[in-house]
Amino acid sequence: MTTTAPLEPQHASTTTPTGIVAGKRLVITGVLTQSSIAFTVARLAQEQGAQIVLTSPARTLSLTRRIANRLPQPPEVLQLDVTDSGDLESLSEGVGDQLEQVDGILHAIGFAPESALGGGFMTAPWADVATALHVSTYSLVSLTRALAPNLAPRASVVGLDFDASVAWPSYDWMGVAKAALESASRYLAKELGPQGVRVNLVSAGPLRTMAARSIEGFSEFENVWHTRAPLGWDINDAEPTARAALALLSDWFPATTGEIVHVDGGVHAVGA
């Protein structure tokens, strides 16, 4: 029986010739800083034998390219604003220039204007709410559709989520966008299943990413996980979440789609 190499110890920096995603070709969105979950997914993917391409909106393109140089093998970074039809239309060709096919997509994209967060649920204007839903929810579908010509048989689409089964302090319209993301992932799984394409989400506990730090009242999330997580929770360690995403991008979940995998220390399972 052929086996793949186990994951390297946490935060290893060497590249292994074989691994859980050896030979896979992945498109990874959302790398902004080294604290980004997507950065850790990208690092682990390369350490586990994958070839990757990153994407970034024009406004953060230079930053993502600088951060990409900190990966074991600096990858190509393509411009992609998921609200820009031109970027979406050119994505397939740009990715095709780098990767023969796409075995996996990581959707790590979320944004809500300031008015839609931090207690602005009742006052946020529709224009800002629409932006949150466009960027954080609809983009899962538009990104996958844009890369449909590149997808290999049995490809995997993985999105990053935050538990949307309850209302959270300060999360407001982003919470609604995440609830919609969860629903959209199920519909996308239904649509793409006949083609052998899997669609799943990883619901992570709070992590100190740049996006999280921009949410007023983020410390309230930290307090919940500090007191309720049966396994404990390290808000500075994105690796457990990244490992789950990478596992779903691999061939180890061949019959799993429309699923939400919780990587939150167990908080979702306990009431108090």
Give me the residue label for tokens 């596992």.
247
Q: Does position 15 have pLDDT exceeding 50, yes or no?
A: no
User: Each residue of 42-58: b (16+ CB within 10 Å) or e?
Assistant: bbbbbbbbbbbbbbbbe
> Pick the residue with more confidence: 211 or 80?
80
pLDDT score for 209 = 72
Q: Are 229 and 163 in contact (CB under 8 A)?
A: no
**In the β-sheet with 260-263, what is the strand arrangement from edge to edge?**
76-79, 51-56, 25-28, 102-107, 151-161, 198-204, 260-263
Q: Are 257 and 248 in contact (CB under 8 A)?
A: no
Average pLDDT, the chain: 92
> Pick the residue with more confidence: 94 or 16?
94
Query: pLDDT digits over 214-250, tens only?
Result: 666 667 777 888 899 999 999 999 999 999 999 999 9
Which numeric CATH code is attached to 25-263? 3.40.50.720
Query: pLDDT digits over 165-193, tens only?
Result: 999 988 999 999 999 999 999 999 999 99
Query: Chain centroid to CA 241: how far?
Result: 10
Q: Comparing C-alpha atoms, which of 79, 95, 98 is closest to residue 87?
A: 79
Mean pLDDT for the stretch of residues 48-66: 97
pLDDT score for 216 = 66
Mean pLDDT for the stretch of residues 156-167: 96
What value, to the nearest 5°, has the Cα angle with vertex 33 and ends 245 and 175? Answer: 60
pLDDT score for 214 = 63
Give the C-alpha separation, 258 to 28, whole Å.
20
78-82, 139-143, 231-235, 268-272: least confident range? 268-272
Sign of CA dihedral 218, 263, 173, 223: negative
Q: Does position 8 have pLDDT exceeding 80, yes or no?
A: no
Q: Are 78 and 147 in contact (CB under 8 A)?
A: no
pTM reported for the whole predicted model: 0.91
Q: Comparing C-alpha atoms, which of 71, 72, 90 is closest to residue 80?
A: 90
